[in-house]
Amino acid sequence: MATVLVIDDEPSDRALLDMKLRRQGYDVFIAHNGWKGLQLYRQGRPDVVVLDLRMPELDGVTVLKEIRRVDPKQPVIIWAGDIPPETERQVRALGVSEVIQKDSSIQLLVDTLKSLFKPPPLTMGG
């Protein structure tokens, strides 16, 4: 199954995502800060990264920029609390797969992950 790296400094959010995504059949790796997240990313190259933006020491935008330096096409879903419009524009310009507010239903995150792993539609005459 697909691997998901969750980078979030909030213990309750990490626990919720870990439980919910494992129930969906994903292999989940957890990082409690941006530094650990980058370390796990470089070691394991997950299929998708779920990334919080507001974290101490190394924030999510900086982590995203580092991931983009390694792999410009890496699927990254931003899972964050209050996201200022200018920050949302910045992360979208960096090519994130989706931006989801933490107060949204976690099912939206699960549905977004599922859509990332759907096989591409067959084309005629391909």
pTM for this structure? Answer: 0.91
What's the start-to-end Cα distance of the chain, in Å?
Answer: 27
pLDDT tens digits for 62-94? 999 999 999 999 999 999 998 999 999 999 999
CATH numeric code, 3-114: 3.40.50.2300
Q: CB within 8 A of 22, min separation 6: which ones?
A: 28
pLDDT tens digits for 9-35? 999 999 999 999 999 999 999 999 999
Helix axes 60-70, 85-93, angle to 10 degrees: 10
Where do the structural domains in the chain lie, given as residue ranges? 3-114
User: Is the pLDDT assigned to residue 126 strictly greater than 60?
Assistant: no
Q: Are 17 and 79 in contact (CB under 8 A)?
A: yes
